[in-house]
Structure 1
Amino acid sequence: MKDKSISVIIPVYNCEKEIINCVESVLGQSRKALISEIIIVNDGSNDGTLKTLNKIKKVDGIDIRIINQSNKGVSCARNAGINMAKSEWIAFIDSDDSWHKNKLKIQEQYIDSYTNISIIGANVNEKDQIIGWNKKISAGFVEAKDMIVRSFPQTSSVIARTEAIKEFGGFDPKQSYCEDMNLFIKIAFKYKYFHINKQLVCYGNGKPQIGGEKGLSADIKKMNAGAKKNLKDFHEIGILNNREYIFYYLFNELKYMRRIMKKIGRKYNESWNYNVK
């Protein structure tokens, strides 16, 4: 990535306790020189988030901009940052996530080695990423269809070319669940996605996974609706043929039912443990 720069986009909403750790992980990058600007989009926070953001000092060589807007959702917040980005590359990070100190350095090495990369991501937390149905790679290009099965990459691991993001219109402002997969898989269908099977992001600082009780990923009904909307989009643009669309649709419904059962089982166990006590 010689002579190239990165705009880092951070959407924030009521995250006064997490945002400093997030920003510090960006500023603590071993290849901080790649970052030309950090764009923080405050999406109508009503806690102390804005006050906390105003304490963030300007860093030499990095322009830190704070955009305030009424609450419009994470897609609109990210799009506001995308529209202001001046760099050739954009890196995303959510306010309750943090980067490994060598994240940008490692991704830069692969981008330099494979000049046709337009979007690149990595693992989050201490978990290997399975590709497709049952494949595992250390690093390499991944087909769009193989991303649909496992719903990856996680947003905070992604760096993508600004022109590729804008080519597909950024994130769908009408979609607040699975909107990241919608964009990333569309980019991957045209340009392919490069995955590094190495942990470069700490996800959520304790944020519940799918099927939990709180957080964005907890609303599994809306997550399911977002996933079905994505499958419809992928079918319409030719990523999935008719047979594949039906297969993936049914597979998604099975995953949805599995998550429902896990959630019911968790509630039952909690109730049982409470009664025993």
Structure 2
Amino acid sequence: MEELRCSQCSAKISIPDGYNLPFLKCENCGAHQKTPQASNEPTYSLLDPAARARSQQPVDLSSLPPLPPSEPLPKKQKWRSITEPIIASAARKEAAAKLGPKPMKATASVLSERAFIEDALGSHGMEMLMQLAASYMAELNEKTRAKAKSKAMQALMRTRVTAELASQALAYAEKSDEIDSILWDNYRSNMIRGLVIFAVGLVISALVYALAHPGWEFILFQVPFAVGLAYAVNAGINMAGIKIPALRNEMIHYGFIIVATLMILAYIAAGIWL
């Protein structure tokens, strides 16, 4: 009895006598090992004289069953008639060369600046552009406006817009008619907010005066509606500045704020000391 070692686990495998199969299974790991008795060359069987004599005998095809009828072959298509190419004469070629190539007609529509910017930014991007432009256009101080404009350009560039396109879009927004309507709406919102503060302060003052009957402390409860009134008047001046450009002046804006502040402080001082 021959033995061999498994190539996977190195266990000894006993080959039984008379075993002539090409592979043997290892009982330890289950891997198949090639037996040394098996040959890699294929085995050919030769015909004996009786088989060779049978192969040379003629075959009687009449005993075979008839074949089923085959389908008719499709008809061959005729070649299509192809017209012969037209060959231009030398005179026609010379006349065409003198005339030159025919001008090509191209129809193109003129793209407006707004359509170009809206196509690059999108509809939501246009709304953001107008709001950003309105945020620094409301500033009256040139330095403050320049800083706010720089922040607006950075906000546009964060949306993957080039610096050139952002500058062009802001320049278009500054001269657009929509800016005035946006500024008008913003100033109107400020006026409404100031009037609300004024009304709330007035109600608080009336309730304190009616219920507590305070002394000089009552002047402190009158400050909120005074501030709200000044806030609403300032928004009204800004709204008038849209229609009258002379009112959109830094001196007028800050002058009114200073005057309103002094009036409120004087009112408080008069209420305390008098």
Larger proportion of helix: 2
**TM-score, reference length from structure 2:** 0.21
Higher relative contact order (CA 8 A, sep 6+): 1
Larger proportion of strand: 1
Q: Highest CA radius of gyration, 1 or 2?
A: 2
